[in-house]
Structure 1
């Protein structure tokens, strides 16, 4: 099974994804770890990525997901903000991907981001991500305002 935990920065994609992967005994991958340094530098500097910046990164992730599909699955934390990005991520997989989109309001996400340490994403880009976000009409949209253990439990209940 391939599970993608998506959403804007600050929703807890990595934390929720890691816990879901552990519960399902699947490997966990954070899409941020696959960005080329030039993308990291742009985001750290407060510059939003363009589609041209994202395509090679999304292609690497699509290949990774296809490889994981042949070895039993994985959980990937990835922003996947637009439908065309989600389509690219799914492009090399033959099975259905389980989509979990974490969602929360601006104030909560801004607070969470201000508490982060050692993350390259400049918090000023949150508004840009929220403006770019196209919520999918498939998968499961999970509210991130409850406690983390509740979000993880609710997420796991949505998976087959």
Structure 2
């Protein structure tokens, strides 16, 4: 980056944000809002699941780590490719630390995690209200069992899912600086 770019307020490196959490948390809604505010590319990680994985989840069968690795690889590659062109925001469950570490490593970007989280009851209610998604409410327990909250050494913030979307986006933007 040239001195002129720095003086103009251009970021040192492209912004790469992963809006994470279990099904029903509102990852996609918040990620779209952040992508609009950042004038960033938006990636819906659910779209990168294989047809087999979607069928498996729709049948109420949780994915294993072995099922998730190829999907996470596709997500990381897409984040890397989009991130080379500019800011990128991805809605991705990223439930375990090892998944998040892999996304950072394989994307080659410094990722910021925005974890949308709420109570089991709030999440179940939100999943139950969806009509066009492959993930049934019965899968919530397995996702919550898999979920590892952000560690203190991970670059991220937790946003309550009950926070109105505009306020959630404001809080995430404030964290991003």
Normalised-by-shorter TM-score class: over 0.9
**Could you tell me whether the CA contact under 8 Å between 2:38 and 2:87 is conserved in 1?**
no
Residue number in structure 2 paired with 1:120: 134
TM-score of the superposed pair, with normalisation by structure 2: 0.87
Of residues 118, 143, 148, the one that matches 1:129 is: 143
Q: CA deviation at 1:69?
A: 2.2
Residue number in structure 2 paired with 1:147: 164
**Could you tell me whether the CA contact under 8 Å between 1:27 and 1:75 is conserved in 2?**
yes
Residue 21 in structure 1 maps to residue 8 in structure 2: no
Q: CA deviation at 1:73?
A: 2.4
Matches of residues 2-13 of structure 1 in structure 2 within 5 Å? 2-13=16-27
| Partners of 1:85 and 1:129 in 2: CA distance | 13
Q: Which runs of 4+ in 1 moved over 4 A?
A: none
Bigger Rg, which one = 2
Of residues 87, 98, 108, the one that matches 2:101 is: 87
Matches of residues 36-51 of structure 1 in structure 2 within 5 Å? 36-51=50-65
Aligned-residue Cα RMSD (Å) equals 1.1
TM-score of the superposed pair, with normalisation by structure 1: 0.96
Structure 1 residue ranges without an equivalent (≥5)? none
Residue 63 in structure 1 maps to residue 64 in structure 2: no
Q: What is the SS of the residue equivalent to 2:159?
A: strand
Aligned length: 160
**Could you tell me whether the CA contact under 8 Å between 2:95 and 2:148 is conserved in 1?**
yes
